[in-house]
Structure 1
Amino acid sequence: MFTPFEDLDAVLADLVATARDILGDTYVGAYLQGSFALGAGDVHSDCDFIVVTTAPPSGPVEAGLRALHDQIPTRRGHWNQCLEGSYADLASLRDVAGLGVPWLYCDNGHRELTWDTHCNTPHTRWILRHHGITMDGPPIATLVDEVPPEVLRDAMRAALPTLLDDLRTWAPFHVAWTQRYAVSTYCRLLYTLRTAEVTSKRGALEWALDHLDPKWRPLLTQVLEDRALGWDPTQPPRPGSLDATFEFAAYAAGLPAPASTTRGPRAGR
């Protein structure tokens, strides 16, 4: 069992077997990262994967992977619309020198693969190194080096000032899901800044309840409790929650940088 869901495990097993056949001698292994690797995946989660290869897919191999992912979301079943991940070549995955290299990427529920850096991030590498689930192949910790703490912190420092503007490029703020996503993402950034580790959205919200100004507890509790609502494009944010989110964003961006590492709860809460 890779996840708590038998039907998701069946989808993943088929993905791994088919990708392995397509990649042939360039196939190394297949792994879970993201919320399921952190022990926090639920029915509202994406299922984040990484397939490691000896070389970036090209030619007939790339065409085969594109055909596979064009077909998967047309299948019946919830989890066929929830796969998100990349095909990462071993050389650029190994250490942080490979950050910024585009990988062949499957966006959540999309049928067209793109070359993108979405999964090629310090936090993805950290999750893989410390919590990655091996579905097939050698242990993932043998393929990914440790991520230096300051690399993680620098990425969070760079993301904080522009997070809201970045969200507006793809997430509609008239939808309640976006309001919750914004708050939890700020909490994850702050958690990593303080701990040089990565945790789930729930873990970051619970950490924030314990470590941030108590004035934010109503907002943080609202986001935690509303997680069960999932994605509904017709559902507006709760009254007042969007203004509170914008105020929280300004608060988070204005917090002083940590002087030293203060370890929070282990990732995956």
Structure 2
Amino acid sequence: MDSDVRRYLADLVEVARSVLGDNLVGAYAAGSVGLGAYQPGRSDVDVALLCADPLPTDAKRDLVAGLRHEALPCPARGLELVTYRRAVAASGTPEPGFEVELNTGARMPFRATYAPGDRPAADGHFWYALDRSILHEHGHALLGPPAAEVFADLAPADLRRLLIDALSWWLALPTPPGAEPAPGAEDAVLGACRSLVRVRHGRWLAKTDAGRRLLTEGHPGAPVIERSIAARLGGPPPSGPQARAFQRQVLDAISGGA
């Protein structure tokens, strides 16, 4: 783990503890940090906090105020933080179920959401349960018991449905016209690779590792996967149409049983 990120996470836990007190029962690094794939200058810092009891509105707002980038500068592109009640994390529910969500950073639009109902449906409600599934397998405990003990995995049918929802959401986004390289297209391709590997093999891998896994299996989308992996190291990404065609292939595979 990057030393700046390590210090930042320690400071984040202290701020959360000062706001939530004994109600804070766990803190977990998720995303690229949890998966051991953090890339300085590119990756976000993803964190899940666990509380024992529902958070009062004042505590939610105080947590946001203490952790937003202006109060605690994030060394990465930004912080994506979600707080759950312990009972929700242990339930395996496919619902969002969060107490408060915060996105903040020097290169990330600020957003604070204080209840799942405030999250627009158009922004996607599938993220949270999928993230908790990744936490179940790869969460790095900063405070509290091991992640596998507190985050339940999804039922297979719920997992497949949410992955279909996620791929459908990505495909519904506007795409730039033409065949020019599309910034961010590599993440869309490799995210689809990760979804397919999870369905086929029952394991969450980092995006690049999932792409490599499909390459070893002779996936027919190999040229797009290879270009996407190279793009994460500075090369040109695939075009928008190439990325979308690959995502449709993965969506068809997952919808049809992979």
With normalisation by structure 2, the TM-score equals 0.81
Paired residues in the alignment total 243
Secondary structure of the structure 2 residue equivalent to 1:51: strand
What SS does the aligned partner of 1:121 have? helix
Q: Out of 53, 63, 66, which is 2:64 matched to? A: 66
Q: Does 1:24 align with 2:21?
A: yes
List per-residue Cα deviations over 1:138-182 (Å, max 9, x = no partner): 2222222343333322322333334311x44xx878873321122
Among candidates 185, 188, 200, match of residue 182 of structure 1: 188
Cα distance, 1:86 vs structure 2: 0.6
Aligned partner of 1:241 in structure 2 is: 239
Q: Out of 153, 165, 168, which is 1:158 matched to?
A: 165
Alpha-carbon spacing, 1:20–1:248, altered in 2? closer, same or farther (3 Å):
same
1:94 aligns with 2:90: yes
Matches within 5 A, 1:1-269: 4-43=1-40, 44-70=42-68, 72-73=69-70, 78-79=75-76, 81-97=77-93, 99-109=95-105, 110-115=109-114, 116=116, 121-165=128-172, 167-168=173-174, 176-211=182-217, 213-214=219-220, 216-229=221-234, 241-255=239-253, 257-258=256-257
Gaps of 5+ in 1: 231-236, 260-269
Identity of aligned residues (%): 28
Asked if the contact 1:85/1:106 (under 8 Å) is kept, the reply is yes
- 8 Å contact from structure 1 (residues 92, 99) kept in 2: no
Q: How far did residue 126 of structure 1 move?
A: 2.2
Q: 1:90 to 1:185 in 2, by over 3 A?
A: same
Amino acid at match of 2:216: D
- Structure 2 CA distance for aligned equivalents of residues 129 and 163 of structure 1: 24
Paired with 1:77 and 1:32, the residues of 2 have a C-alpha distance of 14
- CA distance in structure 2 between the aligned counterparts of 1:89 and 1:77, rounded to whole angstroms: 24
Tell me the distance in 2 between the aligned counterparts of 1:246 and 1:140.
34
Change beyond 3 A, Cα 1:75–1:182: same
Q: Which amino acid aligns with 1:189?
A: S
Q: Evaluate the alpha carbon distance shift between residue 172 and residue 206 of structure 1 in structure 2; reply closer, same or farther with a 3 A threshold.
A: same
> What displacement does 1:49 show?
0.5
CA 1:100–1:63: 2 relative to 1, 3 Å: closer
For the structure 1 residues 141 and 249, does the alpha-carbon distance in structure 2 shift closer, same or farther, using more than 3 Å as the test?
A: closer
Cα-Cα RMSD: 2.8
Between the aligned partners of 1:23 and 1:127, the Cα distance in structure 2 is 25
Give SS of 1:25's match.
helix
Query: Could you tell me how far apart the structure 1 residues matched to 2:28 and 2:131 are?
Result: 12
Task: Give the CA deviation at 1:131.
Answer: 1.6
Contact (CA 8 Å) 1:184, 1:201: kept in 2 or not? Answer: yes
Unaligned runs of 5+ in 2: 120-124
Deviations 1:14-73 (A, max 9, x none): 110011110012111111111111111111111111110012322331221121133x34
Q: What is the CA deviation profile of residues 204-232 of structure 1, one whole-angstrom value per residue up to 9, with x for unaligned ones?
A: 21122123543x222111110110239xx
Gap change, CA 1:9 and 1:196, over 3 Å in 2: same
